[in-house]
Amino acid sequence: MSAPLIGVTTYLDRARWGVWDMEAALLPAPYPRLVRESGGLAVMLPPDGPAAAAAVVARIDGLVVAGGADVDPARYGAGRDPRTGPPAGERDSWELALIDAALASGTPLLGICRGMQLLNVALGGTLVQHLDGHVEAVGVVGRHAVTPVPGSLCASLVPGPAEVPTYHHQAVDRLGAGLAASAHAEDGTVEAVELAAPAWALGVQWHPEMGEDPRVMRGLVEAAAERARGGRAAARAVRVPGWRETGRPLRVGGRGGSAESPSPSPVAYWSSTQ
């Protein structure tokens, strides 16, 4: 059987190469490399019209929502902290539609950093807009320990405490509908979220593509391969009541359950991407 097809979301941004300077669909090379090393075939999914999301998801076996720019706080009903980066509205709309389509079809889904945060927002959760201590320096990927929750999907892939590559200044605050926190940092920050079985939907706050541990991506690829063997038409759809149905999340979580963000700082915004 051929390797499962894994769609990975991308930026649309201006880039330079050779003699060219123009808008490009960008994806850091470690993402497709990790998909390939984990047994999958990677395909890039640049932002498109949200109406196309269901048709795209129907053609892939698994979905990775990659890291990147801050989620627009308007998506979760919050005012903008001065340290929150500029909005990426086209990407937010596209990836939210992909997440909806993946959950509705039972397509295995992995959210990485921004992707985990967007999964939480898609299901009615909120974010802490600025968090200290999880970035060594702008443009430098650091490492810190995370501890998975016993019995979780995350723990089945990464049992026990682990050192992970990290680069983020935002985090999950209030959990979205149906999501459970499945790993934490030493300071209590939520480092992974997931949906209950039979869904295979996992978000990790760290960047597995920047490390040497393939277990999280391998878990997605294996779930995608199993789904492909069973046939997409037979895949079990997972209906999760998110904010579109309920208007409110079902669980309260995050860094102690507070819906408040840290106080603003005088800087314009935290100028980096995840």
Joined tokens for residue 48: 């498109």
Q: Tell me the two tokens of residue 104.
A: 């509705």
- The neighbouring-strand residues paired with 86 are none
Cβ–Cβ < 8 Å for 101, 60: no
Q: What positions carry a catalytic annotation? A: 113, 207, 209
Q: Which amino acid is at 64?
A: V
Coil vs helix vs strand at 224 = helix
pLDDT in tens, the chain (274 residues): 689 999 999 988 999 999 999 999 999 999 999 999 999 999 999 999 999 999 999 999 999 999 999 999 999 999 998 999 898 999 999 999 999 999 999 999 999 999 999 999 999 999 999 887 566 667 667 788 999 999 999 999 999 899 999 887 899 999 999 999 999 999 999 999 999 989 999 999 999 999 999 999 999 999 999 999 886 544 444 444 443 443 333 333 343 333 333 323 323 333 344 5
pTM of the model: 0.85
Catalogue all structural domains in the chain, each as residue range(s) with its CATH number.
Answer: 5-246 (3.40.50.880)
